[in-house]
Amino acid sequence: MKINPIFAVIACIMGLVGVFVAYSSALFSNDLLIGASITVISVILGLTGIFLFEKDFKLAIVQYIICAFGALLGVGQYAIISFLLFIIAAVISFFEKRKSTNYTERRVLDAHFFGDESEIRERYNNFPKNSTNSTIYWIIPIVTVILLLLAAVIGSLLTEDNMDDKVDAIEIDNLTCDIKKSYVNYTGGVHGLLSSQRDFSNVQIKGKWYSSNGTLIDETIDSNVTNLASNHNYQINLPYNKPTTIKPAKAEIEVYEPGTNIILYSKNITFN
């Protein structure tokens, strides 16, 4: 009985479970979709290692290792179990090489035939046969690598295009400031009108406050605006409340998607 196929099947199942957990526990994003696709491709193609083991145990080892790293690169920590199981399957394949259908000891391959080889093989049915040419099957690991690279490249291009669309979709105008100095504090904030040309299911608007020497002195959030609908305007309000010893000289407004830390829009306003 061969054990490496068992680990390969479990690795595939755990990889798919990892993708499901990633979707359940992380905010949905294009990056997550791309990573999940890479992991799914990897773990499914990892099962071809079972077939390749019958052709050449070395092919199975290479395929298991490629798919192990593909699964890990896809969704990271969510595929760590799948990664380890594929590596274990590769190690076991090496120790189970004698169980590979076409495995032949080197000393047998180097043996000299005295007489007609075909006659000897006909007379002795159990005489070991030279391994069949497995060169053609190397195309499977090669195609696997190509598919994973294509998925990564295409995903990267789609993400870049999508990000460009997102960045171009947001604009903030009519910025005003009503910061005033009271007896003990500076109070007030920055206000403006945000418009979006596309829908955003989850955004955060942050104000970064700087002193005259460029030191970051505070960060505030507009918690009233979290979702954006296309062709709608939103009033943003970023409050400021600090002691009179901490005077703001500039505010930087950032709009980004939580979980990605990718800034979709940024604009500065300075105070007199």
Q: Are the CB atoms for 51 and 2 separated by under 8 Å?
A: no
Give the tens place of pLDDT for each residue, 102-157: 665 544 444 555 556 566 666 666 655 554 567 899 999 999 999 999 988 887 77
Q: How far, in Å, CA of 25 to CA of 230, rounded?
A: 27
Q: How far, in Å, CA of 218 to CA of 199, rounded?
A: 29
Q: Identify the pLDDT of residue 49.
A: 94
- Residue 170 burial by Cβ neighbours in a 10 Å radius (0-12, 13-18, 19+): buried
Q: Which two tokens stand for residue 243?
A: 């002691």
Q: How far, in Å, CA of 257 to CA of 238, rounded?
A: 17
Give the tens place of pLDDT for each residue, 9-33: 999 999 999 999 987 876 556 677 7
Residues 6+ apart with CB under 8 A from 68: 11, 42, 46, 82, 83, 84, 86, 87, 90
Q: How far, in Å, CA of 91 to CA of 69, rounded?
A: 15
Give the tens place of pLDDT for each residue, 199-230: 877 788 999 999 888 899 999 999 888 888 88
Q: How far, in Å, CA of 1 to CA of 13, rounded?
A: 21
Q: Identify the pLDDT of residue 40.
A: 93
Give the tens place of pLDDT for each residue, 153-201: 887 777 655 555 666 778 888 888 888 888 889 888 999 999 888 887 7
Q: Are the CB atoms for 224 and 258 separated by under 8 Å?
A: no
The amino acid that residue 130 corresponds to is N
Q: Identify the pLDDT of residue 106.
A: 47
Mean pLDDT over each residue of the chain, to the nearest integer:
83
The amino acid that residue 60 corresponds to is A
What is the DSSP annotation of 47-92? THHHHHHHH-HHHHHHHHHHHHHHHHHHHGGGGHHHHHHHHHHHHH
Q: How far, in Å, CA of 62 to CA of 266, rounded?
A: 47
| Average pLDDT of the residues in 243-264 | 83
Quick one: CA dihedral 131, 49, 152, 155, positive or negative?
positive
Q: Which domains does the chain have, with CATH numbers?
A: 4-165 (no CATH), 178-270 (2.60.40.10)
Q: Identify the pLDDT of residue 108.
A: 47
User: Is 90 exceeded by the pLDDT of residue 4?
Assistant: yes
Q: Identify the pLDDT of residue 135.
A: 82
Q: Identify the pLDDT of residue 127.
A: 57
Name the one residue in this structure whose structure tokens are 């004698």.
98
Give the tens place of pLDDT for each residue, 71-80: 999 888 999 9
Least trusted range by pLDDT, from 90-104, 137-151, 235-249: 90-104
User: Is 80 exceeded by the pLDDT of residue 238?
Assistant: yes
Name the one residue in this structure whose structure tokens are 């080892």.
61
